[in-house]
Amino acid sequence: MKRVIFDIVLFLSAFIFPWYFVVLLLLVGIFVFVSFYEFIFVSVIIYSLYSVPSDKIISSPIFFSLMIIFSYTLIQIIRNNIILYKNEI
- C-alpha distances out from residue 87 to 37, 43, 80, Å: 20, 28, 10
Provide the pLDDT for residue 25: 92
Give the model's pLDDT for residue 87: 55
Mind listing the pLDDT tens digit for each residue in 33-62?
A: 888 888 888 888 888 888 777 777 777 778
Stretch 18-34: mean pLDDT: 88
Going by pLDDT thresholds of 50, 70 and 90, the confidence category of residue 67 is confident
How many Cβ atoms are within 10 Å of 31's Cβ, its own excluded? 13
